[in-house]
Every structure is written in structure tokens, then in C-alpha cells.
Structure 1
Amino acid sequence: MEIALLIWMVLLLHINLLHGLKATLSQDEKIMVRRRLELINKPAIKSFLTRYGDILDCVEINKQLAFDHPSLRNHSIQMKGNLKIPKQTNSIDRSLKILKPSHIVPKSMRCPRGTVPIKRIQEEDLAMEKFSSKISTSISSKSIKTQDDLPPGHQIATLVAFANNVGASGLINVWSPEVTNEQLSDTSVFVASDDGFVSNAISAGWAVNPYLYQNLTRLFGYWTRDSGKSTGCFNTICPGFVQVSQKIALGATIQPISTYWGAQYFISITIQQDQNTKNWWLLYGNEQVGYWPKELFGTLSNGATRAGWGGEISSPSTEATPGMGSSHFPEEGYSKACIICKLKLVGQENFPNGTDLKLAQSKPDCYKAMYGGDVGGDFGHHMFVGGPPNCKF
């Protein structure tokens, strides 16, 4: 009963925050929110203030929020995954730049031995939870064909590979589309499998949500066991993700970003299952950031049945929609549209084609995905994704 009341209070806070009514919260509501933040944010050995106003806490690795999950109370931390890490290449095109971990978390912000960097959760961060079930629908559904297959105000443009796999990766072009307080725009890599009438899914990439992230592009990771109905969350807002890296933190700001017809910046994202422990790892380039333990999932603990790459947006029906990707259509091409390149499936010798590779576009007049095939070189298998703001549904 207390947990239900806490959830209700937090949801009420979301509504008040997003409508500028924070001052109307009762004392009881403020106490409930403060209690939740105290549960989420574990004691820090040391803290850093970033240039963007975020606080990175150095938390003892065995005392992080992940282990508050009932299934992880006796979990043994896996410090390094047994993974097949995709090879990185330096582009011969000097306008293409793959951002290193030090671009996300400066080397000067290294936590003491035995601790890991965790972005401190503030009241505003909790607003991200309102998007949880919507994103779960988009990354876990098998047959999204029109906007009617998605929650109201939510649109996707993705390339989906229907093939058994143990991971997916890609170089994601980084942009910063303009969005309002109640909107979200992201581009990501995902893996998923069905579990009865719901899906297990993991997604990672970059996202922009101004109320939560001060209109900055951020690194994110997301998981769910039941299509977001009652499990899963972004980053480290709830127990689940086990952080092991001292170089990268979920929720951190990504800078610099790409410019139209200018320099292009990329993040290298891999989601891959360790075949020994069955844990699902997140890699940023070659850096093993952390993992989602197998205990969090059902069927996904045995591998994924599909994977994908693409973008999505979420917006209230009363507002003009935000842009996706670079806010330009795929047809405009490289350095103008958002590209995701070096698409790979772990556990598959050949990249899928034919009926195993499909575009899922809920509103193609507004947001599109375009598969470009394999051109070799710096891009390999690649796709473009995006669309301008102010779409009319």
C-alpha cells in the first residue's frame, strides 16, 4: 500500500512539474519524493560537478542502486564481460569523428578505486518515467505498421532485423533536435524477444528531453521485462543496471554534436550478451560500461529474436511535434540526415536481408527510415533516419 501511494505521489509530481506547478505540492508530497530520491541516490565517497550542472557521485560498486532489486540481492558482480567486441575503424573522412569516453566523462572526473560514477538523480529526472511504456512499445513490438499501433503522440522510424542474435551494434550520428518540456526524441540500438504477450527489451543510444536533460543530448540505456507495463526504466532511476566502468556514466552529456553540412560526430554503441553468464552488456566503443543481469529478464536471458536501429519521438497531441534525428529526412544524405552505420548483429555470420529485414515506420510522411545496404569502408551496412518538426497527424 505504501509503495502504491509513493508511485501515485511521484506521478502527481510529474504532472505538477511539467506544468510549472511545483509550488503547489503539499508537504506530504514533498516528503514522499524526497524519500524516493534518498532510496535512489546512494551515499557518495566523492562527487564531481560537471560543466553542464550534473552531479556525478562516486558510489561503492557493491552498494549501487542495482542491488536493491529483489532478484539481485545475492548477485556476484561481473567486473568484465567475455565479449566479442566489434572492431573500430578510423574514418578516412575527417568530418566523421567517433567520440571517445573522455568526451562524455572527462579524465579529470575519475572515481576512487572500488567506486563507480553514477549520475545523481534529481526530482526532474523522475519525469523521464512518463516515457517508459511508450518507448517499450516501440522497441519491443513486432508488427508496428501505422501510428495506430503506438501510444498517442508516439512515432517511430526503425530498421528491424528479425533474426536470432546475442547483440547488436552501430555508430550512431549524434544530433540535438529541439524539443519542449513534455517531448522526447532519441536514436538508438535495441534488442528484444517475446515473452508471452509482452516483450523483453534493451535499448541504448542518445536522447533529448529538455525538462530532464536541460535540452542537452545525453547517453541513455533502457530495459524492460514486460513491455514497460510494470518493469524497467531509464539509466539508473530504478534497480537493474550494474555500473562497472569508471570512464562512462549513463545520463551523461554528449558533446560535441553534429552540425548540418558540417562536422559529424558519432557514438559507438553495442548491446551484447555474455554467453557464459548470460548478462547483457552495454559497450561504449571498447569500454564495457556495465550490464543488465540475466535475472532481470525472462526469454531475453536466452538471447534475442530481433534487433534494430532507428529513432522515435514522443509528444503531447496538443503540441507541435519535435524533429527526429537531425530533423531532416533521410533522402538528404550524409552530413544532413542522421546516419547509423556499421550495423552489426552479434551471433549472425551474415547481415539479414529480404523478409528478415524490415522498416517499421509509423508515420512515413513525417518520419522515415531508409536502409542504404552495405557500401563497405567506413559505413558498411548503414541506414538514415529522421524527419522535421511540426508534423501533422
Structure 2
Amino acid sequence: MGGEFVLRKPRNGIKCRRFDRCNTMRQTETELFSEETRERRRGRRRSFFLDMIIFFRPCFSNFLFLSLFILSSSSSSVLSTETEYLSPRNQTLRPLEELNKLKAINQHLRKINKPSVKTIHSPDGDIIDCVLSHQQPAFDHPRLRGQKPLDPPERPSGHNSRGLRPKSFQLWRMEGETCPEGTVPIRRTKQEDILRANSVSAFGKKLRHFRRDTSSNGHEHAVGYVSGEKYFGAKASINVWAPQVQNQYEFSLSQIWIISGSFGNDLNTIEAGWQVSPELYGDNYPRFFTYWTNDAYQATGCYNLLCSGFVQTNSQIAIGAAISPSSSFKGGQFDITLLIWKDPKHGNWWLEFGSGILVGYWPSFLFTHLREHASMVQYGGEVVNSSPFGAHTSTQMGSGHFAEDGFTKASYFRNIQVVDWDNNLVPSPNLRVLADHPNCYDIQGGSNKAWGNYFYYGGPGKNPKCP
């Protein structure tokens, strides 16, 4: 009698007459049954995880690319977090982690994308939601909950109304679409917008950096600035370009900074201007933006309306929307005029665009030092240099041309002014200029009757003189 036959007989109901043989057969049968069961379970597990991997393959590729980039970055805190996904111990957990990440993203989207009374589809792919003004993200803040936007404040004396009308400068309005009165236009945030960021908590925030530091997280500047007095606002006209940005993790911007506090953990800033940021917006359009922080870009503040803070009052301008037209080399020049000032009555910091168009305000309670006044004002350009492949980035600042190239070729700030203690607009006194890396991006100042205080600035980044 063969071994195979003996093992099958008990399973077919044939009794075993000898105890020791029967016991051996039952034991052997049990072992085979256990082994078959384990094999079936292993097969089901392999099938389940194969299905999950196929289902999440697009997310895996994005996640792997993001992790590889972060491995090459200089941020050790981000590195230690993201590289956990690459360890063998965590390979089988990635589908669950990915699901949790998508859940967190969707929760954040529900928080910042408010119900709209009208939706507008922009030619550039943006979706603009017309949200009731008292339901915008700012009013999620405990200090503002249940309130409504404030009435317009008193303008600084010496302010004129010459400037650009807003209807001609943003793509979403090119086809005549507008938001109803009583609403504010808000660029809708999509899932892919947050997926481009390092994390949900990092979305909509600048990396931490400090003033004109030549090695601070790759942030490089060419700026004009005033300091040493008490400042209550600033104004300038900035021409708009569409600089080339080398990769998704860099940006190029031109803006006004209102600054107070030390350049440590208590730095307060208010910022507004235009920027090209593929990571934040997913394209290379120049976009109108705002920013604020009260702790040196650590935990507080954000771009535009991506957190509770800035209160928008205007129904015709979408913060974060694309600007059109932009300036062209040896061609037409297009500039925007921005004024930021502190309301003498309520202490809030207001933003005005162009010819007397109020955009909104930053409530004074958002800040510590800026509750009183600014100690410095900066104007100019900033880029992020991630040093791709070990070389300086080719991301352009401004037009991508050096200051010496002048009008129609280089970028400029003109009619540079500050607001003094008595709410007067005056020419910026003792305006100084400084470039972190003048062989990469430079700046040259001047003054005349037509433009008042001005400067040209910018550059191509990587070039034979830029290491």
C-alpha cells in the first residue's frame, strides 16, 4: 500500500484499525490541510496586495518622485519623514498610508473650498467660485467668526487714483464673467494642487527663510529697502513678466514686503505682488498673490485665501488668479500698482490695487509687531534656487535680464513710496539696493521726475558668471 493511498483512505471514510497508524495518518493529514490552507491564504494576500498596488500605481509614481526629490533636498526634517515610505518595513503599509493621505487632503479641501453661488471656468483651467463674503475662509478664524467685512478706511493723503482697472488684468474675466455683489471670487483648490506640496500642512506656505541671506534655503533676492524709521505702508508700480522657472520646486516672484520684528522666530511680514509658482498653481502663469506670517514662516500664515487671515472685500479680483497681459522683451510693458497701508482708525492693514480698488485687509490681531508699525519695507524680486544637478538654477528673476539692460528689457519698480506716521504717502527716503548674488540677479536704482524713486532688477540665474 503506497503512502498516497494510505493518506487518502481516512478522508474517504475508511477506518484505521491500528492506533499508531491511524494517529500517524491523522497527523500527516492535519499538516497537509494546514499547509494547503496557508497556501490559499498567501495566494489571497498576494492577490489583494497586487490589486491594491495596481489600483494605487499612479499615486505610487507621484509619491516615489516626490520622495526622491526630498531625498536630494537640504531639509533634514522633511527628509526623515518622507523616507519612511522607502524602507522595506513599510512597503506593505503604503496603500493604507496613501488612503489616509487622500482622506486628509479631502478634509482640507472641504475646509478651504466654500459653497459658491456662482462658478466661473477660466480659460487657463482655473475654477473661480463666487462665495458669499461672510463665508470666505477668513471668517473661520475665532476672532472673526460671525462677523462681516469692514467698511473702507481712509486712504493716505497724497494718493492719486491713476492706475489700471482690474477687469483687464486677470484671465478669468476676459470673457466678461463677474461675481455678484456681496460675494468674493476665490480660486478653487483641487486635489492635485495639494498633492504637489510636501504635505497637507505645508500646502500654501513659503519655506522658512530670512532676510537677504545668501544661503538661506536657496532663497535669493534683489531688493530695494528702507529701514530705521516707523513705516505705516508702502506703494509701488511693478511691471509683470512671465519668467521661466526651471522646476516645480522653485518659484520666481516680485513683491512688496512690510516687515517688523527680528529676523528670528518672531518675524512679521505682509506681502503682495505677482509670482510664478508651478508647485502652488500647477502652471507657469504670473499670478497676483498675497502672503502673511507672524512667526518667520513657521506655523502661521499662508498664500492668498488658503487659510483664515486675509479678509477679501472685492468682488472683481481673484487673489491667486493668472495675470494677463504681461510685459514683452523690447515690446509693451504692463505694470500693476499696489498700495499697502495701516488704517489709522482700526489698525488693520489694507491692500489696494490699481486705481482705488480695495482688495481687502489683514486684521491687526494676526500680528504681534505689525500691530503697531513696520520697521522695514522691501521691494523687489525673489527666487528659490534648489541647485538642480549641483549647479545654480536657471530660474529667471523678473524678465530674466540684468538691470543694466533697462526699459523694455529689464524688470522695474517705479514710484516707490512709503506711508508715514501721519498717513501721508511720501517718496521712500534713503532707498538702498542690494542683491544676494549680483552675478546671477542684480539691481540698479535711480530717481527722476517721471518715475520718482525706481530701480531695475533681475537676471537669468545660471550663466557663465553665476557659479
Match of 1:173 in 2: 239
Task: Within 5 Å, give how 1:79-90 maps onto structure 2.
Answer: 79-84=151-156, 86-89=159-162
> Is 1:332 equivalent to 2:405 in the alignment?
yes
> Is 1:66 equivalent to 2:132 in the alignment?
no
Cα distance in 1 for residues equivalent to 2:415 and 2:184: 30
* 1:1-45 deviations in Å (ceiling 9; x for gaps): xxxxxxxxxxx99x8397499x98722211110111111111111
Aligned residue for 2:231, secondary structure, equals: coil
> Is 1:34 equivalent to 2:106 in the alignment?
yes
TM-score w.r.t. the length of structure 1 is: 0.84
Aligned residue for 1:182, secondary structure, equals: coil
Aligned residue for 1:343, secondary structure, equals: strand
* 1:303-354 deviations in Å (ceiling 9; x for gaps): 2111111000013222533010000000110110001111110126653444
C-alpha change, 1:302 and 1:17, in structure 2 (3 Å) is: farther
The offset of 1:276, in angstroms, is 0.8
Aligned residue for 2:114, secondary structure, equals: coil
Aligned residue for 1:70, secondary structure, equals: coil
> Is 1:112 equivalent to 2:180 in the alignment?
yes
* 1:218-258 deviations in Å (ceiling 9; x for gaps): 00000001111111110011111111101111001100111
Cα distance in 1 for residues equivalent to 2:303 and 2:225: 22
**Contact 1:177-1:326 within 8 A present in 2 as well:** yes
Q: How many pairs align?
A: 361
Cα distance in 2 for residues equivalent to 1:305 and 1:116: 32
- If asked which structure has higher relative contact order (CA below 8 Å, sep 6+), I would say 1
Cα distance in 2 for residues equivalent to 1:65 and 1:131: 13
Match of 2:291 in 1: 222
**Contact 1:279-1:291 within 8 A present in 2 as well:** yes
Amino acid at match of 1:184: F
Amino acid at match of 2:270: I
Cα distance in 2 for residues equivalent to 1:45 and 1:172: 34
Match of 1:312 in 2: 382
More strand by share: 1
The offset of 1:69, in angstroms, is 2.0
Match of 2:223 in 1: 158
Match of 2:271 in 1: 203
> Is 1:247 equivalent to 2:316 in the alignment?
yes
Aligned residue for 1:35, secondary structure, equals: helix
**Contact 1:71-1:296 within 8 A present in 2 as well:** no
Task: Within 5 Å, give how 1:1-393 maps onto structure 2.
Answer: 16=63, 19=66, 26-73=98-145, 75-84=147-156, 86-89=159-162, 98=164, 100-104=166-170, 105-106=172-173, 108-126=176-194, 127=196, 129=202, 132-134=205-207, 137-138=209-210, 141=211, 144=212, 146-148=213-215, 150-151=216-217, 153-162=218-227, 163-179=229-245, 180-194=247-261, 197-213=265-281, 214-285=283-354, 286-318=356-388, 320-347=393-420, 350-354=426-430, 357-372=431-446, 374-377=447-450, 379-390=451-462, 392-393=466-467
Cα distance in 1 for residues equivalent to 2:394 and 2:378: 23
The offset of 1:166, in angstroms, is 1.1
* 1:338-388 deviations in Å (ceiling 9; x for gaps): 01111110126653444xx3323211121112211x2012x2211111011
Cα distance in 2 for residues equivalent to 1:120 and 1:102: 21
Aligned residue for 1:188, secondary structure, equals: strand
The offset of 1:190, in angstroms, is 1.4
Cα distance in 2 for residues equivalent to 1:166 and 1:122: 36
**Contact 1:240-1:293 within 8 A present in 2 as well:** yes
Calculate percent identity across the aligned residue pairs.
34
Cα distance in 2 for residues equivalent to 1:51 and 1:20: 33
Cα distance in 2 for residues equivalent to 1:350 and 1:169: 9
More helix by share: 2
RMSD: 2.6
Cα distance in 2 for residues equivalent to 1:117 and 1:352: 33
Amino acid at match of 2:302: C
Cα distance in 2 for residues equivalent to 1:350 and 1:215: 35
Aligned residue for 2:261, secondary structure, equals: strand
Gaps of 5+ in 2: 1-58, 69-93
C-alpha change, 1:173 and 1:20, in structure 2 (3 Å) is: farther
Cα distance in 1 for residues equivalent to 2:63 and 2:190: 15
The offset of 1:133, in angstroms, is 4.1
**Contact 2:441-2:461 within 8 A present in 1 as well:** no
